[in-house]
Amino acid sequence: MSKIRVLPDILASQVAAGEVVERPASVVKELVENSIDAGAREVRVDMDRGGAALIRVSDDGCGMSREDALMSLERHATSKLRVAGDLAAIRTLGFRGEAVPSIASVSRFRMVTREADAVAGTEILVDGGKIRDVRDAGCAPGTVIEAKALFFNMPARRKFLRAETTEAAHVEHQLRLHALAAPWVRFRLRRDDREVFDLPPAAKALDRVRQLLGPEMARELIALPLTHGNGVSVEGFVLPASHARKGRRHQFVFLNGRPVEDAVISRALAEGFRGALADGLHPAAWLWLDLEPTLVDVNVHPAKREVRFHRPIDVRDAILEAVSEGLRPPAPPPVRRVETPPAPMEAPPRPVTPVFHAPQPLLESWVNPTASEPAPPVHEAPQGGGSAPDFRFLGMLRQRFVVMESTDGLVLFDPKAAKERIFYETLLRQREGSVATQGLLVPVLLELDPRDMDLLLRERHALADAGIEVESFGGNTIQIRSLPACLGIEEPRPFLGELLDEMLHDPLSGARFAFDRLARVLAKRAAALVVPRLAEAQPLLVELFACDLPYCTADGRPTLTEFGMRELERRFGLGKA
């Protein structure tokens, strides 16, 4: 008997669902794409319990006849491809014919659809891939698809679903992507019978970006001019480099109306800012690319988020040109020349002997001390936890480092690194009781990505242990009511924006919100705001050497560096015979 057999249709659909239907957001993605392909002007999504209990997608598109509705449940049945050549010129969002039968095979599925000129609609009930009933139904033109009890017949897949709030955040993010890709469509999202958002149709892409971004941030948008390349056109918007973040979650790219992710596009965006970004930061951008279908392959992965460009250099060049042109400062107004009468002839000036000035005033302490003015004693630096060494202060180097003299040579002191060590150990000491907090006079409101919002609210107790009180403010907005008192933050909004960006998007191993990591990031961000001053160096040294490990920060960077006389003599060649 042969060992190799053809899989039954239901089992084959469940296998295909493993790639197409990863989570509730995947169901929403596939069904909303079908709605947009059907010409819908309004799409409504309802979900219960993060989509695991119910996902319902309703649209007012062209609808289907009974014959087409039944055919849509067959694997690889589609209205968007006819011959092999169509695969090289895909303009629709869906084309594989796998999504609907895959969803029906792993849920309790219901479809109600009617064409505009039909007297009655069609209702189809499917239970785990088996058609239970087909009947006439009274309904409005369009299509309604329900998927209940997702993965009810695949317990191994169901147990890998995340928390309800996490799955709901991914569904919301997916619908926001489609709202940006199709601004002419009204999108509504309801979660557990509560409306999350209702986005009316927008005349322009800019209006849809403003709807999702908010008026305050939208005022800073920089428009990128429509740029044409070799078979590709690019337009969109970016935010200034000050809004760049570590992750790419604030980059939204749409290729022929399809949300995509591609490294070529991300690199081109970063190159367009021409060095204005620090390493590891990515600009916020909304890009719409129109590319000839023959120049891109969208049939790379069942999820259709990955694409392969035939000529990636042309895409890069078009994006780079658009970003560079959008960020180019406006040309200054022409200067009007005013003719003045010629000045009377004067005697030629007498030659002046050049005078060379010192680049900065000499400090008296730099001059060799005389017998009447003995030099202050200089002691060896003690180990951590003792009194501060009695260095002699010489001055500041570029208003950043303090230059000091020790018994053995020259010492460079970094006040920012010292503050970082002090903040870090203060937070660790206060953890044994409770971190002293400072309530903000005006709570800071921050708009976040739905997925980041969900993560922060789930970790709010860990943040509270570190002195940061976080609460939901409705929608995707959080309010922060307090900060650790020891940090002394004067401008909390930019500090919190950079802090949360590092906490959420910095790659790391282990617990993201562990107290030690929170303390390290808080100390680093607070110390970055410190302005070094020579007058504060002595008390800062005393405070630093009261720490357990004064010679380095929490991540190992030095707070002081010494150049001994032997090393200095070697560098100047004085030790040679």
Please tell me the predicted confidence (pLDDT) of residue 384.
Answer: 46
Assign 1 a pLDDT band (cuts: 50, 70, 90). low
E strands present in 200-242:
222-228, 232-238
Question: Which among 318, 309, 322 is positioned nearest to 263, based on CA atoms?
Answer: 309
Q: How many CB atoms lie within 10 A of CB 385?
A: 11
- Written as one letter, the residue type at 538 is Q
Among 30-39, 115-124, 143-152, 158-167, the least confident range: 158-167
CA distance 77 to 81: 9
- Residues in Cβ contact with 478 at an 8 Å cutoff, skipping those fewer than 6 apart: 445, 446, 448, 453, 456, 457, 470, 471, 472
Assign 426 a pLDDT band (cuts: 50, 70, 90). very high
Q: Quote the crossing angle between the two packed helices 492-505 and 450-458, to the nearest 10°.
A: 90
Assign 383 a pLDDT band (cuts: 50, 70, 90). very low
CA distance 106 to 101: 9
Please tell me the predicted confidence (pLDDT) of residue 90.
Answer: 78
Please tell me the predicted confidence (pLDDT) of residue 189.
Answer: 96
Please tell me the predicted confidence (pLDDT) of residue 40.
Answer: 96
**pLDDT of 353 above 80:** no
User: Which ranges of 160-204 does DSSP label H, i.e. alpha helix?
Assistant: 164-181
**pLDDT of 510 above 60:** no
Question: Which among 562, 153, 197, 209 is positioned nearest to 389, based on CA atoms?
Answer: 562
Assign 240 a pLDDT band (cuts: 50, 70, 90). very high
**pLDDT of 385 above 60:** no
E strands present in 357-436:
392-397, 401-406, 409-413
**pLDDT of 333 above 90:** no
pTM of the entire predicted model: 0.77
| Fold category of 9-201 in CATH | Heat Shock Protein 90 (3.30.565)
Q: Which CATH class is domain 377-577?
A: alpha beta
- Written as one letter, the residue type at 473 is F
**pLDDT of 407 above 80:** yes
Average pLDDT over residues 482-489: 90
Predicted confidence (pLDDT) per residue in 214-230, tens digit: 888 899 999 999 999 88
Average pLDDT over residues 80-86: 72
Q: Which phi and psi angles does 468 have, rounded to 5°?
A: -110, 115
**Greatest mean pLDDT range, 171-185, 301-315, 351-365, 472-486:** 171-185
Among 90-104, 170-184, 297-311, 374-388, the least confident range: 374-388
Please tell me the predicted confidence (pLDDT) of residue 376.
Answer: 41
CA distance 178 to 65: 26
Distances (CA, A) of 423 to 109, 393, 434, 486, 526: 56, 24, 15, 7, 8
Fill in the DSSP letter of residue 87.
G
Bridge partners (DSSP) of residue 435 are none
- Residues in Cβ contact with 493 at an 8 Å cutoff, skipping those fewer than 6 apart: 444, 446
Among 159-168, 251-260, 342-351, the least confident range: 342-351
Percent of the chain with pLDDT over 70: 86
Per domain, the residue ranges of the chain are: 9-201, 206-327, 377-577
Predicted confidence (pLDDT) per residue in 271-326, tens digit: 998 878 888 889 999 999 999 988 888 877 766 678 889 999 999 999 999 999 99
Please tell me the predicted confidence (pLDDT) of residue 496.
Answer: 87
Q: Indicate the SS3 state at residue 51.
A: helix
Bridge partners (DSSP) of residue 362 are none
Please tell me the predicted confidence (pLDDT) of residue 98.
Answer: 83
Average pLDDT over residues 239-259: 90
Asked if 450 contacts 173 with a C-beta cutoff of 8 angstroms, the reply is yes
Predicted confidence (pLDDT) per residue in 430-460, tens digit: 887 788 888 998 999 988 889 888 888 888 8
More confident residue, 94 or 478: 478
Q: How many residues does the chain have?
A: 577
Strand pairing class (258-260; 251-255): antiparallel
Please tell me the predicted confidence (pLDDT) of residue 126.
Answer: 96
Asked if 393 contacts 533 with a C-beta cutoff of 8 angstroms, the reply is no
- Residues in Cβ contact with 520 at an 8 Å cutoff, skipping those fewer than 6 apart: 424, 554, 555
Asked if 412 contacts 401 with a C-beta cutoff of 8 angstroms, the reply is yes
**pLDDT of 195 above 50:** yes
Asked if 199 contacts 213 with a C-beta cutoff of 8 angstroms, the reply is no
Question: Which among 86, 80, 89, 76 is positioned nearest to 20, based on CA atoms?
Answer: 76
Assign 366 a pLDDT band (cuts: 50, 70, 90). very low
Assign 504 a pLDDT band (cuts: 50, 70, 90). confident
Sign of the CA dihedral running 228, 230, 233, 237: negative
Among 61-75, 239-253, 344-358, 430-444, the least confident range: 344-358
Assign 364 a pLDDT band (cuts: 50, 70, 90). very low
Percent of the chain with pLDDT over 90: 51
Q: Which helix (H) or strand (E) holds 59?
A: strand 54-59
Rg of the chain over all Cα atoms, to the nearest angstrom: 32
Assign 155 a pLDDT band (cuts: 50, 70, 90). confident
More confident residue, 94 or 125: 125
Please tell me the predicted confidence (pLDDT) of residue 575.
Answer: 64
Please tell me the predicted confidence (pLDDT) of residue 305.
Answer: 75
Question: Which among 177, 181, 27, 161 is positioned nearest to 99, based on CA atoms?
Answer: 27
Please tell me the predicted confidence (pLDDT) of residue 54.
Answer: 96
Average pLDDT over residues 518-535: 91
CA distance 187 to 199: 5
Asked if 136 contacts 120 with a C-beta cutoff of 8 angstroms, the reply is yes
CA atoms within 13 A on the CB side of 529: 18
Among 39-43, 367-371, 508-512, 537-541, the least confident range: 367-371
Please tell me the predicted confidence (pLDDT) of residue 224.
Answer: 94
Distances (CA, A) of 29 to 116, 166, 175: 25, 16, 7
Please tell me the predicted confidence (pLDDT) of residue 368.
Answer: 43
**pLDDT of 371 above 60:** no
Q: Indicate the SS3 state at residue 356.
A: coil
Which of 193-200's residues contact partners 24+ apart within 8 Å by CB, and which partners?
A: 196/172, 196/475, 197/172, 197/475
Fill in the DSSP letter of residue 282.
B
CA distance 137 to 121: 5
Assign 130 a pLDDT band (cuts: 50, 70, 90). very high
Average pLDDT over residues 198-210: 93
- How much is the mean pLDDT over the chain? 85
With respect to CATH, is domain 206-327 assigned 3.30.230.10?
Answer: yes
Assign 363 a pLDDT band (cuts: 50, 70, 90). very low
CA distance 49 to 55: 9
**pLDDT of 342 above 80:** no
Among 118-132, 343-357, 390-404, the least confident range: 343-357
Please tell me the predicted confidence (pLDDT) of residue 341.
Answer: 63
**pLDDT of 181 above 90:** yes
More confident residue, 19 or 414: 414
